[in-house]
Structure 1
Amino acid sequence: MDGTIAGILMLDGLTNGAIYALLALALVLVFAVTRIIFIPQGEFVAFGALTLAGLQTGKTPMTIHFLLLLAVLALVLDLVAALRNHVPLARALRLHLPRALPAVGIGGVAWWLAPMQLPLIAQVLLTLAVVTPMGGLLYRLAYQSLADASVLVLLIVSVGVHFALTGLGLVFFGAEGSRTPSFWDASLSAGPLMLSGQAIIIMGASAALIIALWLFFEKSLQGKALRATAVNRLGARLMGISSASAGRLSFTLAAFIGALSGLLISPTTTIFYDSGFLIGLKGFVAAVFAGLASYPGAALGALAVGLIESFSSFWASAFKEVIVFTTILPVLLWRSWRDPHQEEH
């Protein structure tokens, strides 16, 4: 291996690591706020990429129907819960209907716009608008009633949700993969290295989103509420911060990050209905590097995962996935020695 090959591999690793960093940040966010190891994170990657691919062909993606179904089911659950608490139906509708209307409105507009062959940037925005609300709705349907359960129970639910979304992905998109057009076809050269426009967009979008998340947590009231919930759920609840609202918001952010990640990588590789799981798993490895607690640590761990994967593909391409996932073992051993396990109460 000479310097040119090493530079190419490093550039490729940093590009992939930028995507893994986004997914790792989403996993850390969800776990910190809700104690949920969000295994279905990768499904939003596939949903985002394949929804855009469907819009490219002028079809109405099934994810639009899925969004409408989730919104209706969440509204029904809210109304049933209100009626069980002896809340009058008219008041229950006033309380919960406004929460479902945005998702229904987005679904209706997307249904109308989908066949129109919109410009690429409009299709990207429409895809994000469709996939992002699914996160909060999924939390309401699958996790909210179990918010106080043990981490193990929440993990089992996550596994079930993962399999359900993977099966739905097969129904929605079929077994054939799709690839979307590049957002920027230009390329820049730096000596022997060639940097594609898509790679620049990936790294730039990842950096911009990380900065936006930092500003959100530091400056906005909702971001500070999420931080308070992550530090002390009971204390945040006593201060009037709804843990259910915090959970829905964290899942919505995770869905947005997953969908954006899918849009960014879909021009560089073919995405299948189940491709998101492997991509999300690498983000999980990066999050474990940070102990599912540190955002900067998760970002650095993601870059390390990207570099390990890239150099492994050169030295032993057949075993690159094995090498990447094996790196989690020494990290877990080190963390088990450093932070002895304590029983959850």
Structure 2
Amino acid sequence: MDFSIASILMLDGMTNGAIYALLGLATVLVFTVTRVIFIPQGEFVAYGALTMAMLQAGQVPGTVWLLMLLAVLAGLMECWSRWSHAHNLAQAIKSALIMAVPPLLIAWGTLWAAPQNFAMPVQALLSIAVVATFGPLVYRIAYQSLESATSLVLLIVSVGVHFAMTGLGLLFFGAEGFRNPSFWTSSWAVGPLNITGQVVIIFTIAVLLIAVLWLFFERTLFGKALRATAVNRTGARLMGISTHAAGQFTFLLAAGIGAVSGLLIGPTTTVFYDSGFLIGLKGFVAAVVAGLASYPGALIGALFVGIVESFGSFWASAFKEVIVFTLILPVLLWRSLRSGHSDEEA
């Protein structure tokens, strides 16, 4: 291996690492607020890329129909929950409308816009809006009633949600893969490297998102209030923090980050309905490196994962996935030895 090959592999690894950083960021975000290890994070990546591909083809994405279904289901669940607790029909209907109407408006707007062949930035914003709106709905349907459950129960629910979203992806998008056009087609030769505009966009968005969210959760009162729901949910409620709203807002951010990741990775690789699983797992490895707590740590861990994957694919392409996922073992061992052990919670 000479310097030219090493440079190309390094750039490729850092590009993939930036995508993994976004997913690691979303994983840390969800876990720190809701204690949910969100396995289906990668499905939002696939949904984002495939929704964009359908809009590029002038077709109505299948995610629109799924969004309508989940909006109605979540609205009915919210109505029943409010009615069973307060027996106030007007309040129950109001809560149901707040839950269901925004997703339905986004779905109907996308139905109208799909055959119009709008410019690529408009299609990208529509894709992000559709996929991001899945977040609060998924939380309301699958997690909200279990928010006080143990982390193990929440993990089992996440596995079930993953399989459901993967199957629905096959139903709505089919087994065929799609590759989206690049957002910026310019390129620059820097020595042996060919740096494209898409690579610049990936790095820029990854760094900005991580910086903004780190500042939000570490420096703002609202961000600290969201984190408080994970530390002590009962105490957060007593302080006037709505744990339901915190969970839904967190899932909205995570789904939006997944959608953005899908749009960024779409022009660099062919995306299938199940492509998000492996991509999401690599983001999870980055989050574990960060201890499921640090946003800058997730960035560093993700870049490390991407570089290891890139060089691993050069030296032993058949085992690159094994090499990447084996990274989690020494990290877990080191964190286990570094931290004290406590009795398992009842």
| Range of TM-score over shorter length | over 0.9
Residues 1:128 and 2:128 are matched in the alignment: yes
Question: 1:48-78 deviations in whole A, cap 9, x for unaligned?
Answer: 0000000011100110111111111111001
Report if the CA contact (8 A) 2:210-2:295 is conserved: no
Question: 1:153-177 deviations in whole A, cap 9, x for unaligned?
Answer: 1111000000000000000100010
The one-letter code of the counterpart of 2:343 is: Q
Following TM superposition, by how much is the alpha carbon of 1:36 offset from its aligned partner in structure 2, in angstroms?
Answer: 0.7
CA gap 1:229/1:86 in 2 versus in 1, 3 angstroms: closer
Question: How many matched pairs?
Answer: 345
Q: Whole-Å Cα distance in 2 between the matches of residues 344 and 306 of structure 1?
A: 35
Question: 1:90-148 deviations in whole A, cap 9, x for unaligned?
Answer: 23112331232211111111111111111111000000011101001100000000111
Following TM superposition, by how much is the alpha carbon of 1:83 offset from its aligned partner in structure 2, in angstroms?
Answer: 2.0
The one-letter code of the counterpart of 2:223 is: G
Report if the CA contact (8 A) 2:79-2:95 is conserved: no
Residues 1:222 and 2:222 are matched in the alignment: yes
Q: Whole-Å Cα distance in 2 between the matches of residues 245 and 323 of structure 1?
A: 39
Specify the alignment match of 1:330 in structure 2: 330
Tell which deviates more after alignment, 309-318 or 88-97: 88-97
Q: Whole-Å Cα distance in 2 between the matches of residues 133 and 334 of structure 1?
A: 38
**Aligned CA-pair RMSD:** 1.4
Specify the alignment match of 1:182 in structure 2: 182
Specify the alignment match of 1:85 in structure 2: 85
Report if the CA contact (8 A) 2:40-2:161 is conserved: yes
CA gap 1:284/1:67 in 2 versus in 1, 3 angstroms: same
Specify the alignment match of 1:314 in structure 2: 314
Q: Whole-Å Cα distance in 1 between the matches of residues 247 and 200 of structure 2?
A: 33
Following TM superposition, by how much is the alpha carbon of 1:228 offset from its aligned partner in structure 2, in angstroms?
Answer: 2.6
The one-letter code of the counterpart of 1:321 is: E
Tell which deviates more after alignment, 45-54 or 195-204: 195-204
- Please, what TM-score do these two structures have when normalized by structure 2? 0.96
The one-letter code of the counterpart of 1:69 is: L
- Superposed, which structure 2 residues align to 1:118-267 within 5 Å? 118-218=118-218, 220-267=220-267
Tell which deviates more after alignment, 222-231 or 285-294: 222-231
Tell which deviates more after alignment, 163-172 or 203-212: 203-212
Q: Whole-Å Cα distance in 2 between the matches of residues 222 and 283 of structure 1?
A: 26
Tell which deviates more after alignment, 24-33 or 230-239: 230-239
Report if the CA contact (8 A) 2:24-2:299 is conserved: yes
Specify the alignment match of 1:282 in structure 2: 282
Residues 1:56 and 2:76 are matched in the alignment: no
Specify the alignment match of 1:8 in structure 2: 8
Q: Whole-Å Cα distance in 2 between the matches of residues 152 and 215 of structure 1?
A: 30
- Please, what TM-score do these two structures have when normalized by structure 1? 0.97
Segments of 5+ residues of structure 1 without an aligned counterpart are none
Residues 1:97 and 2:102 are matched in the alignment: no
CA gap 1:292/1:271 in 2 versus in 1, 3 angstroms: same
SS in structure 2 opposite 1:241?
A: coil
After the TM superposition, which segments of 4 or more aligned residues of structure 1 sit over 6 Å from their partners? none
The one-letter code of the counterpart of 2:321 is: E
SS in structure 2 opposite 1:189?
A: strand
Following TM superposition, by how much is the alpha carbon of 1:219 offset from its aligned partner in structure 2, in angstroms?
Answer: 5.6
Specify the alignment match of 1:74 in structure 2: 74
Question: 1:262-311 deviations in whole A, cap 9, x for unaligned?
Answer: 00000000000000000000000111111212212111110100010011
Q: Whole-Å Cα distance in 1 between the matches of residues 259 and 333 of structure 2?
A: 33
Tell which deviates more after alignment, 296-305 or 171-180: 296-305
Q: Whole-Å Cα distance in 2 between the matches of residues 230 and 10 of structure 1?
A: 37
SS in structure 1 opposite 2:213?
A: helix
Following TM superposition, by how much is the alpha carbon of 1:211 offset from its aligned partner in structure 2, in angstroms?
Answer: 2.3
Q: Whole-Å Cα distance in 1 between the matches of residues 220 and 112 of structure 2?
A: 34
Report if the CA contact (8 A) 2:78-2:95 is conserved: no
Residues 1:343 and 2:344 are matched in the alignment: yes
Following TM superposition, by how much is the alpha carbon of 1:236 offset from its aligned partner in structure 2, in angstroms?
Answer: 1.9
Residues 1:19 and 2:16 are matched in the alignment: no
Tell which deviates more after alignment, 185-194 or 264-273: 185-194
Q: Whole-Å Cα distance in 2 between the matches of residues 230 and 148 of structure 1?
A: 10
Following TM superposition, by how much is the alpha carbon of 1:3 offset from its aligned partner in structure 2, in angstroms?
Answer: 1.2
The one-letter code of the counterpart of 1:44 is: F
Q: Whole-Å Cα distance in 2 between the matches of residues 341 and 278 of structure 1?
A: 32
- Superposed, which structure 2 residues align to 1:26-37 within 5 Å? 26-37=26-37
